[in-house]
Structure 1
């Protein structure tokens, strides 16, 4: 299979950034590019045989679906938690979409972001907009999966565990291992009454995988699992406050909390402070994601870092490659995780 030449390949050949290549090819009048740089870019374009995306779409009908004419990538965020207008109250999505949009834009694509209710189908929207590709975040098993397969539109699943036959491209974190790492870290710091605070735990979902990791660590270290220490709600700052207030009124001997998202952990710090419970002196907290809010929180949040920016960039690269070549081989990308130690965990 012939490799697709991308803008980043031209940038590497010319010794410039992908953004500079985009500016030169699109003749941006608002950006000043030296004549020498422009010559290097056009020389690289000619040498590599690069065809700017819009022209390639016009010249090629190899996909055979009649859909790839818009330079639009759809981003689907299923509304998995009832009553939520959208998920952008969680900064994770802003950081992820920022990196995704930038990577797609450099290749001449634009995003169409949509929330989809549980009883809605996205496929008709995708067909009507002639989308070149679809990115699906956090999807649970449903009949909708078969509709995506039938559509023939290149798709990338992000943080999904329902693609059992590996039909789609995939980018995710090892959430079960992340849940294990977070819980083990607390155990190694002397804690054995550890609360698990998360959004709704559905089978084959991110929260469920982190829940399994939590249980794995408890079992490995011989600590009995106690269902009463698991508090489920929704992923938000407000829920974090409520969960902290609940634990403050009935601590059940808890000395540490694993919150499955940093935004929940930040809310818990606020909730505990309202109840005169100090973090980490009275109770320790570890989060997950490493969003910016976890850094500026007081105390700053010890967390499991998944590189959200790298995840967004990886998804952009994957969907653009898939949109430009129907024969692009299926890929599963696992974003590495690590513990970031800050101020919210006390050693007993």
Structure 2
């Protein structure tokens, strides 16, 4: 194997000092055009590749951004089965690349592990997606690294954040079902945690039900994980129960998609036998049959804005807490039946 060329070898070949080579590569000082050209020619001739780790130590930055993504379970794989995460991470990576940064994607098994990783890799900034224990946020502050939270209700003033109004999104979904004549509405969600997204979305569901004079019943709430397998389990649990639901409000498209498959296996057709609405508006939802009616949030834009906010924080360490709440709206497709139309036809 060919030995890696060092900066000293480049300097010797170009007839300059290693410091001068560094200055040229990093564009740090005014160097004569003749010297710069000689250095660049030598770099090309020797096929020299700078050591980014060493460069980051000298420059004080690594051009490396950490992205923390939830796991399906502690110590298990990351949640890329849910396309929400692949879509948002893709937009973060693209935006970072445009600004000259690379992205390091990882999970957080324990607070100490990620804090150590952040310091060892000299991360310039971190984007944290999802909800974590309060101890995680407290310990991450010790790093003094700029951090942006995505979809978090952590109220610590140290962190910048970007999210949607989760309660309102779920309220819109539930009200949409009610406006279409549904009264017995089940609710499929992920694990409900204090100060978490799922708790907010459950609140929105409850508010819409009670606003219309309908009873909120915990028996109608089916809780699991936000993944394909649990969407099937929740649908099967509803089928085995004595609940006569005509509609299901879900807190994630992946739950709705898998539930539709489970219902089909039980001979229950969407939307003729049961209506369902998703949350996120993943790309795949428009290609389903029927297409999935869902709560739209601009996932790609959320990732871009998270990176922009982080970049601003890196450039301006004294930037005060920034919080951005993005809009949501209903995208109508074909998974919700209008029972009002059915009632009118029966009367006629």
Q: TM-score, normalised by structure 2?
A: 0.78
**Quick check: 1:99 aligned with 2:88?**
no
Q: Distance in 2 between matches of 1:269 and 1:223?
A: 25
Q: Deviations over 1:297-341 (max 9, x none)?
A: 211110000000110110111111111221233211111100000
**Quick check: 1:173 aligned with 2:164?**
yes
Number of residue-to-residue matches in the alignment: 286
Structure 1 window deviating more from structure 2 (334-343 vs 115-124): it is 115-124
Q: CA RMSD in A?
A: 2.1
Tell me: CA distance 1:113–1:174, structure 2 relative to 1, closer, same or farther (3 Å): same
2:64 aligned partner? 72
Aligned to 1:102, the other structure's residue is in SS state helix
Q: TM-score, normalised by structure 1?
A: 0.78
Tell me: CA distance 1:120–1:238, structure 2 relative to 1, closer, same or farther (3 Å): farther
From 89, 104, 109, the counterpart of 2:81: 89
Aligned to 2:69, the other structure's residue is in SS state strand
1:9 aligned partner? none
Tell me: CA distance 1:86–1:325, structure 2 relative to 1, closer, same or farther (3 Å): same
Q: Distance in 1 between matches of 2:198 and 2:307?
A: 24
Q: Deviations over 1:75-130 (max 9, x none)?
A: 11243745742100000001101111100100001110001125654111100100
Q: Deviations over 1:210-257 (max 9, x none)?
A: 001011111111111111111111011221122222222225110000
Unaligned regions of 5+ residues in structure 2, if any? 1-25, 27-51, 340-348
Aligned to 2:208, the other structure's residue is in SS state helix
Q: Deviations over 1:33-92 (max 9, x none)?
A: xxxxxxxxxxxxxxxxxxxxx9xx989xxxxxxx95210010112437457421000000
From 115, 126, 130, the counterpart of 1:134: 126
Q: Deviations over 1:7-27 (max 9, x none)?
A: xxxxxxxxxxxxxxxxxxx9x
**Quick check: 1:156 aligned with 2:148?**
yes
Aligned to 1:190, the other structure's residue is in SS state coil
Q: Distance in 1 between matches of 2:70 and 2:110?
A: 7
Q: Distance in 2 between matches of 1:132 and 1:165?
A: 20
Does the aligned pair in 1 maintain the 2:278–2:294 contact within 8 Å?
Answer: yes
Aligned to 2:177, the other structure's residue is in SS state helix
Q: Distance in 1 between matches of 2:151 and 2:294?
A: 18
2:250 aligned partner? 259
1:110 aligned partner? 102
2:335 aligned partner? 344
Question: 1:149 deviation in Å?
Answer: 1.6
Does the aligned pair in 1 maintain the 2:111–2:140 contact within 8 Å?
Answer: no
Does the aligned pair in 2 maintain the 1:75–1:135 contact within 8 Å?
Answer: yes
Aligned to 1:225, the other structure's residue is in SS state coil
From 303, 322, 325, the counterpart of 2:316: 325
Q: Distance in 2 between matches of 1:146 and 1:137?
A: 16
2:174 aligned partner? 183
2:272 aligned partner? 281
**Quick check: 1:224 aligned with 2:250?**
no
**Quick check: 1:291 aligned with 2:277?**
no
2:260 aligned partner? 269
Does the aligned pair in 2 maintain the 1:198–1:231 contact within 8 Å?
Answer: yes
From 175, 183, 206, the counterpart of 2:197: 206
Unaligned regions of 5+ residues in structure 1, if any? 1-25, 27-53, 60-66
From 126, 139, 143, the counterpart of 2:135: 143
Aligned to 2:223, the other structure's residue is in SS state strand
**Quick check: 1:249 aligned with 2:240?**
yes
Aligned to 1:326, the other structure's residue is in SS state coil
Tell me: CA distance 1:83–1:231, structure 2 relative to 1, closer, same or farther (3 Å): farther
Does the aligned pair in 1 maintain the 2:149–2:161 contact within 8 Å?
Answer: yes
